[in-house]
Amino acid sequence: MQEELIEQQKDAEEGKGPGSITRRAFLHTSILGISGFAMTSCTRGILDRNEIEITNKSFAIPNLPPAFEGKTITFLSDIHSGPFMDVDEMQRIVHIVNNLKSDIIVLPGDFVTSHPNEIGPFAEAMNELKAPLGVYACTGNHDYYAGVDYVSRGIEDTGIKLLRNENVRLEIGGQSMHLIGIDDDDAKTVSKFVEGKHAPHIEAAFRGVPETAATVLLCHKPYMFEDFAKTNVGLMLSGHTHGGQIVLARFGKSVLAFSSLASEFVEGTYLPTESRSKTQMYVSRGIGVVGLPIRINCPPEITKITLSAATA
């Protein structure tokens, strides 16, 4: 967990996360004050990490064609093949996902934990994922730790279409929508893109996507949501936070967890501050764990999304 916390705190300090200094200071003090709760809840936490919750969500997407009305996306993130996620558990996850019978399956990053050899067990299990309109993914930060090109080849060997700063056009009966995938290491350059500056990776990701297209964006970290909301993205799907993994308390929609130090985007649905934007984001609690093999007040999540057309 320490590795993840250091990265998240660094992101916040560099302005990659939208959290204010005042809020981070408050959360840091609160976390220190009640962190003993986590140590007394480990038994329940170990159970929580094996109890996958299926979340059903509906999202209205601007410009969604009638052919895609009611189509479904199964969304799972942060599998983290490694010491706390073996082949048997991943095969159980594949069984659950396939039984949801969605039209599309998406996995926005962190397939492994930290070592190249962890992609082999992932590929062995995920090779069985099936969906009528395909299985798609983008990279996460842990995939870079393990060697992103090596991990990418392992993913593509399974038949999963990995979108590395590119998009794919999905078509039904001559009608279409676009899935866009951003490489984790390049997502931050979207700020240049929306300012009209040269941002080759983001430009490549959106190349050929009409302004009026119905779009779903896969981006591992949620931090750049406000910038992506200035594009024509209808729905952004992210993970990375694990929903906090160890959640000490909840105050309304606020989550008191270490990941809150880096960003207000921890889990669930978010809308942009720019009222004219119709972009929405859903942040998954993910499947796996890092650092410690526990989750507290934060069960792993697979999300089934039903698409509908946004009204004007």
Which of the two residues, 37 and 293, has the higher pLDDT score? 293
Q: pLDDT: is 196 or 37 the higher one?
A: 196
Which residues lie closer than 8 Å to 169 by C-beta, 6 or more apart?
Answer: 176, 177, 178, 208
- pLDDT for position 29: 42
Neighbouring C-beta atoms of residue 187, cutoff 10 Å:
27
Among residues 182, 103, 116, which one has the least CA distance to residue 155? 116
Out of 39-48, 163-172, 273-282, the most confident range is 163-172
Residue 39 clears pLDDT 50, i.e. is over it: no
Percent of the chain with pLDDT over 70: 82
Q: In the predicted model, is pLDDT for residue 40 greater than 50? A: no
Q: Does the pLDDT value for residue 195 go beyond 80?
A: yes
> Above 80 in pLDDT, residue 184?
yes
In the predicted model, what is the mean pLDDT of residues 226-241?
A: 96
Of the two residues 308 and 8, the one the predictor is more confident about is: 308
Domain 2-309 has CATH 3.60.21.10: yes
CA-nearest of 292, 285, 189, 188 to 240 is 285
Going by pLDDT thresholds of 50, 70 and 90, the confidence category of residue 55 is: very high
pLDDT band at 38 (very low <50, low <70, confident <90, very high): very low
SS (H, E, C) 139-152: CCHHHHHCCHHHHH
DSSP H or E run through 37: helix 36-39
Q: How confident is the model at residue 263 (pLDDT cuts 50, 70, 90)?
A: confident
3-state helix, strand, coil in the chain (%, to 5): 35, 25, 40
How big is the CA angle at 49 (ends 45 and 52), to the nearest 5 degrees? Answer: 135
d(CA 56, CA 212): 27
DSSP 68: G
Residue 60 binned pLDDT confidence (cut-offs 50, 70, 90): very high
Closest CA to 166 of 195, 209, 197: 209
Query: What are the tens digits of pLDDT across the range 104-137?
Result: 999 999 999 999 999 999 999 999 999 999 999 9
- With tokens 């967890």, the residue in question is 257
In percent, the amount of the chain with pLDDT more than 90 equals 74
Residue 285: pLDDT above 70?
A: yes
pLDDT at residue 189 greater than cutoff 90: yes
Using alpha carbons, list the distances in angstroms from residue 80 to 77, 95, 105, 219, 289. 9, 17, 17, 16, 7
In the predicted structure, residue 311 carries a pLDDT above the cut 50: yes
Q: Using DSSP, state whether 238 is helix, strand or coil.
A: strand
**What's the confidence (pLDDT) of residue 250?**
77
CA distances from 217 to 24, 102, 186, 229 (A): 28, 18, 14, 11
Q: Over 90: is that where the pLDDT of 251 sits?
A: no
Mean pLDDT, rounded, of the chain: 87
Per-residue confidence (pLDDT) for residue 48, from 0 to 100: 55
Residue extents of the structural domains in the chain? 2-309
Residue 80 has pLDDT above 60, yes or no: yes
- Pick 204 or 23 by higher pLDDT: 204
pLDDT of residue 216: 98
pLDDT at 28: 43
> Mean of the pLDDT values across residues 21-31?
43
Mean pLDDT confidence for 199-224:
97
**Sign of the alpha-carbon torsion through 202, 195, 212, 238:** positive
The pLDDT of residue 254: 75
